[in-house]
Chain A
């Protein structure tokens, strides 16, 4: 069982992570998502084969990076026009 903790600006990422876990043939045991200071804290307890979990963690990191990047882009634009 692995716990993946992420900060998300877009709560939809939670669904994305659950879907990715399914795609990697992993099993999602627990999901906690709560708003924290304008973003969301997500905690996912997932079990799966070690290689599948390794790939899942990498895939999650990637979508979280894009999420942050997009958010940062919007913030910059709002701040500087």
Chain B
């Protein structure tokens, strides 16, 4: 910086630049105005104006999930800050590095119920790794640098920095902000310098358990994406030559062509994957946290198996499932260590187990009961068949999310993006915006339902403003389908508050925003419609009008064990 004096707001910008931030998602308002004023003449960072702060938080999450860089969202105090909350919580649940910057009322007004005042630090205390209220202009850069460092790791997550507007306006003598950490994928600074204390005994125990096993099963989770462990994971699986499955956040860690990969496990997972969990004698849980959607009834999860659990976060060990061996560390480092140690051993021949798991395989059950109408699963089957290998998919939450997760075979975990832990409807479209901005050269498709799209479809305006070539595949079954499915199966078909029979004309809405749009309801026209969507170089919506009653199967009913799946609605 060369000017003699600089404002707190300018320090915010300069610190973001020093941290390597290239894009920030924001929405202006009273207390954050100094920052947006600084953006007026700022060319080093692209500020993306969203149409609701929730879109900013989700877009920052989509950007971060697809790049490994820290996503940044900016909002004003009060309602602006509270509108970020769902997106921040989503980032917390899925360990996504996000820094949220909020304006705050003037320092003397804090605590007086001032206009647009909210104690966002208190509100977000349980959904951030930490939050900071910056009290003086000299502390802004330091607070932001620390926020970025904490957001990055070791286990990433959101950090919120709340800055009173008077602090943003205050000018101080200019000095170099410092280059901080480039917005790299891996934790730097402290994380890199933190020596990894390898637990020799734990690794020895793990190797012994693997070598003594007859029926091992690997479950990979979001840790593969977070620690950039995909290459090591694939090497490890080639060496082990054993069956493996993944959580929804682990999709893409496995080589898409690996015959040992069983697909996603869990509540709507593939039958072979869930049955294998029931029959295996050893589980290697790699960067996953035994979410209840994965385990089903915990007291009946993997009853015959010993458990090796690798995670960067020691607090995950024994949280849900008691483990026999805990390998604490960055997943990539853990896998490399295991590869080195197992390479020196003669591994058992797991061919009989592989054969057994092949016998367990069953195709996804069909629930296409109304001939002649478009089926959501047919739409997604066709989509994943026609989509290019490098497609980046963001999904919303609900039935389409599970159908997509069952079918997707992403080449990398950063190519399948889902609000998995929080399950926040409205995520898909803004996350797609973040992903497309991060990867302008890649095809990005947001697969959304009619319920979720209506939560954030105002972001069509953001897509149009920035001419993002984002594609939107809308699976419209005129219902809040997943809730309806539960009502059908477990609430005696009492369909309360789930019908969206009066949905708007989505094509007309998209067109009103200047987005090319078309609808399809004829199965014969499905493939040409998807091909046109994928061919388009401009933003486009394909509205797939599907019949309303299709359910997601297999399914583990609530309270059942993971291998007690149902293939269809009980007669």
Whether B343 sits at the interface, judged by CB under 8 Å, is no
Q: Please, how many angstroms separate the alpha-carbon atoms of A77 and B190 in the complex?
A: 10
Least distance between A33 CB and chain B CB atoms (Å): 16
Q: Which of A11-43 contact B (CB under 8 A)?
A: 12, 15-16, 19
**Which residues of chain B (310-328) have a CB below 8 Å from chain A?**
313-315, 318-319
Q: Residues 39-81 of chain A: 1 if any B CB is under 8 Å from the residue's CB, otherwise 0?
A: 0000000000000001100110110011101101110111001
B-side interface mostly: mixed
* With A16-B125, A69-B190 as contacts: A77 and B142 at CB distance below 8 Å: yes
Q: B189 an interface residue at 8 Å Cβ cutoff?
A: yes
Contact of B126 among A16, A65, A67, A78 (CB under 8 A): A16
Q: Are B130 and A62 in contact (CB under 8 A)?
A: no
- Chain A residues with Cβ below 8 Å from B313 are 62
Q: Which residues of chain B from 295 to 343 have a CB within 8 Å of any chain A CB?
A: 313-315, 318-319
Are A70 and B146 in contact, with the CB atoms below 8 A?
A: yes
Interface-central residue, B145, B176, B313, by most chain A CB under 10 Å: B145
Known: A62-B313, A76-B189, A81-B178. A70 touches B319 (CB 8 A): no
**Pair B319/A55 contact, Cβ less than 8 Å:** yes
Q: List chain A residues, Cβ under 8 A from B189.
A: 73, 76
Q: Across the interface, do B146 and A73 meet the contact criterion of CB distance under 8 Å? A: yes
Residues in B with CB closer than 8 Å to A81 are: 176, 178
Measured CB to CB, the nearest residue on chain B to A23 is: B126
Are B146 and A74 interface neighbours, CB within 8 A? yes
CA A59 to CA B318, docked complex, whole Å: 12
**Cα–Cα distance between A12 and B190 once the two chains are bound (Å):** 23
Chain B residues, Cβ within 8 Å of A12: 121, 125
B146 with A77: CB separation less than 8 A: yes
Within 8 A of A (CB), among B171-203: 176, 178, 180, 189-190
Shortest distance from the beta carbon of A65 to any chain B beta carbon, whole Å: 8
Instruction: Say yes or no for B129: interface residue by CB 8 A criterion.
Output: yes
Of A66, A73, A78, which is in contact with the most chain B CB atoms at under 10 Å from its CB?
A73
Chain B residues lying within 8 Å of A55, measured Cβ to Cβ, are 319
Q: Is the beta-carbon distance between A66 and B315 smaller than 8 angstroms?
A: no
> Is the beta-carbon distance between B129 and A73 smaller than 8 angstroms?
no
Expressed in whole angstroms, the Cα–Cα distance for A69 and B313 within the complex equals 13
What residues of chain A lie closer than 8 Å to B159, measured between beta carbons? 70
Contacts of A70 in B (CB 8 A): 129-130, 146-147, 149-150, 159
Q: Give complex CA distance A42, B180 in Å.
A: 32
Q: Please, how many angstroms separate the alpha-carbon atoms of A28 and B129 in the complex?
A: 23
Q: How far is the CB of A31 from chain B (nearest CB, A)?
A: 17
Shortest distance from the beta carbon of A66 to any chain B beta carbon, whole Å: 5
B100-128 toward A: CB 8 Å interface, digit per residue (1/0)? 00000000000000000000010001100
Q: How far is the CB of B175 from chain A (nearest CB, A)?
A: 10
Interface contact A58-B129, CB-CB below 8 Å: no
Distance A35 CA – B59 CA, assembled complex (angstroms): 40
Q: Whose C-beta in chain B lies nearest to the C-beta of A60? A: B315
Known: A55-B319, A62-B313, A81-B178. A74 touches B143 (CB 8 A): yes
CA distance A10 to B132 in the complex (A): 10
The residue on A at minimum CB distance from B179 is A81
Q: Name which residue of chain A comes closest to B147, CB basis.
A: A70
The docked-state distance in angstroms from the alpha carbon of A55 to that of B317 is 10
Residues of A near B147 (CB, < 8 A) are 70
B149 touches A73 (CB 8 A): yes
Interface residues of B in 204-234 (CB under 8 A from A): none
Q: Are the C-beta atoms of B142 and A78 separated by less than 8 Å?
A: yes
Q: What are the residues of chain B within 8 A of A72 when measuring CB–CB?
A: 190
CB-based nearest B residue for A77: B145
Q: Given the complex of chains A and B, what is the CA–CA distance between A10 and B143 in angstroms? A: 14
Q: B145 and A73: CB pair below 8 A? A: yes
B142 surroundings in chain A (CB, below 8 A): 74, 77-78
Known contacts A73-B149, A78-B142; is A10 also within 8 Å of B178 by CB? no
What B residues does A19 contact at CB under 8 A?
Answer: 125-126
A65 to B194, CA, bound (A): 13
Contact B178 A66 (CB under 8 A): no
Instruction: Count chain B CB atoms within 10 A of each CB in A19, A70, A76 and give the residue with the most.
Output: A70
**Separation of A73 and B313 alpha carbons in the complex (Å):** 18
**A15 / chain B contacts, CB cutoff of 8 Å:** 125
Enumerate chain B interface residues (CB-CB to A < 8 A). 121, 125-126, 129-130, 142-143, 145-147, 149-150, 154, 159, 176, 178, 180, 189-190, 313-315, 318-319
Q: List 21 A-B contacts (CB under 8 A).
A: A10-B130, A12-B121, A16-B126, A19-B125, A58-B315, A59-B315, A61-B315, A62-B315, A67-B130, A69-B154, A70-B130, A70-B159, A72-B190, A73-B146, A73-B150, A73-B189, A73-B190, A74-B143, A74-B145, A77-B142, A77-B178
Known interface pairs A76-B189, A81-B176; 6 further A-B residue pairs with C-beta atoms within 8 A, sorted by A's residue number: A12-B121, A12-B125, A70-B150, A73-B146, A77-B142, A77-B180
